[in-house]
Amino acid sequence: MRRKVVRDRADLLERAQAAPDKLKKLLIDGVKACLPEGFDVDRHFTPPYKPMQQRVAFVPDGDLFKAVASGKASVVTDQIAAFDETGIQLGSGSRIDCDVVITATGFEMSGMGEIPFRVDGRHIDFAQTVTYRGTMFTGVPNMAWIYGYGHYSWTLRADLIGEFVCRLLRHLEARGAKSVAPTLRPDDHDMPLRPWVDTEYLNPGYLLRSLDRLPRSGDKPEWQHSQDYLYESKAIPAIDLDDPIFSYSY
């Protein structure tokens, strides 16, 4: 079952990359089929981005659409102009009266938990580091950050990275080393640097607003934060811990 779910998601991602307009039409047509004729799907259920660039919400049994169709719930897509004592003023000029507002978007991502990091008294600016496979960072020894997938189950990557870290710790002990950090090799210094993740693939607003505070990536697989589980499930267990990319200190 797990393999089927992963394969189905991989197929969906491939379709989103190869034919985004076709997939978008398929998804929107599915929404239209669940709502009353005349409902403004283009305005309220059609996002400005391509499918899978931001997470797609799954609606089991279509319960949301049933609630909208029955009048028990409503969905409004608009810009918030202001809050007032009785509700929300919208950019279109209309308003929504409400008793409670729960914010579920517009937040700011806290990179590294806003914890100040120092190595030998030197402050670490993670925006000046390059990530090794989205989990370690140049110039930062003995640190691994477990960051999952945006489009697969988060824990799939957490498992992969957890196993990698355990293997690295055992290797560190076997070598008698005290620390290890990824280091750019001579032929890596001239590679073009890119944002933390490929924004053509994943671009929620909270991520775009925080890119200037996150580590950079490169144009080689080892210096990228891949979002491809099928690739990483083979690549990460095969990492050579004696590769020159790992700098051990004794």
Tens digits of residue pLDDT in 51-76: 999 988 889 889 999 999 999 999 99
208 and 143 within one domain:
yes
Q: Considering the entire predicted model, what is its pTM?
A: 0.84
Residues 87, 32 share a domain: no
- Same domain? For 63 and 174 the reply is no
Q: What's the domain count of the chain? A: 3
What range defines the domain where residue 33 resides? 2-71
The verdict on 35 and 154 lying in the same domain is no
152-183: pLDDT as tens digits = 889 999 999 999 999 999 999 999 999 999 99
Phi-psi category of residue 223: left, alpha or beta, with phi > 0 → left and psi -120 to 50 → alpha: alpha
Distance between CA atoms of residues 148 and 27, nearest Å = 26
Counting beta carbons within 10 angstroms of the beta carbon of residue 160, is it exposed (0 to 12), middle (13 to 18) or buried (19 or more)?
Answer: buried
> 20 and 97, same structural domain?
no
Question: Per-residue pLDDT tens for 73-105?
Answer: 999 999 999 999 999 999 999 999 999 999 877
Measured from the Cβ of residue 6, the count of other Cβ atoms closer than 10 Å reads 16
Predicted pLDDT of residue 165: 97
80 shares a domain with 67:
no
What would the mean pLDDT of 6-35 be, rounded to a whole number?
Answer: 92
Based on the domain organization, do 228 and 133 belong to the same domain? yes
Q: Where are the beta strands (DSSP E) in the chain?
A: 80-84, 87-90, 95-97, 118-119, 122-123, 131-132, 136-137, 179-182, 246-249
pLDDT band at 193 (very low <50, low <70, confident <90, very high): very high
Tokens of 25: 């039409």
Q: Does residue 174 sit in the same domain as residue 125? A: yes
- Residue-averaged pLDDT of the chain: 92
- 161 contacts 198 by C-beta, under 8 angstroms: no
66 with 158, same domain?
no
Say yes or no: 13 and 80 in one domain: no
Condensed to tens digits (0 to 9), the pLDDT of residues 111-143 reads 788 889 999 999 999 999 999 999 999 999 999
pLDDT bin (cut points 50, 70, 90) of residue 110 is: confident
First to last CA, the chain: 45
The pLDDT of residue 2 is 81
Same-domain pairing of 139 and 66: no
Tell me the pLDDT band of 150, cut-offs 50, 70 and 90.
confident
As a whole-number percent, the residues of the chain with pLDDT over 90 amount to 74
Q: Which of 25-29, 32-36, 106-110, 194-198 has the least mean pLDDT?
A: 106-110
pLDDT for residue 242: 97
